[in-house]
Amino acid sequence: MKIQTLFFGITSDLVETNDLEITISENSSINDFKVFLKKKYPKLENINSYAIAVNETYAEGNLILKEGDVVAIIPPVSGG
């Protein structure tokens, strides 16, 4: 199944793009997706510290992804 993945901040630098269409297995959860990304893009080794949003809503690790979902990888933000 295909999902659109958007990268923001440092994550776009680490994978060298802002967005990708990624093919993952049916019934993959956010946690499965994180494992997949770490294997494909080892520079994302700290992906557990990033927020994940699916279709513009923050998501937990057990959420099951669906065909056509848009997943955003959002790094921690600091500042004032």
- Three-state DSSP state, 27: coil
Q: What's the CA gap between 61 and 48, in Å, rounded?
A: 10
pLDDT tens digits for range 20-31: 999 999 999 999
Beta-sheet pairing, 19-23 with 51-54: unpaired
Is CATH 3.10.20.30 correct for 2-74?
yes
Question: What's the whole-model pTM score?
Answer: 0.88
Q: What is the pLDDT of residues 26-78, one digit of tens each?
A: 999 999 999 999 999 998 887 777 889 999 999 999 999 999 999 999 988 76
Q: Look at residue 45 in the predicted model and tell me its pLDDT.
A: 83
Residue 8 has pLDDT above 80, yes or no: yes
* b/e per residue 38-65 (b: at least 16 CB within 10 A): eeebeebeebeebebebeeeebeeebeb
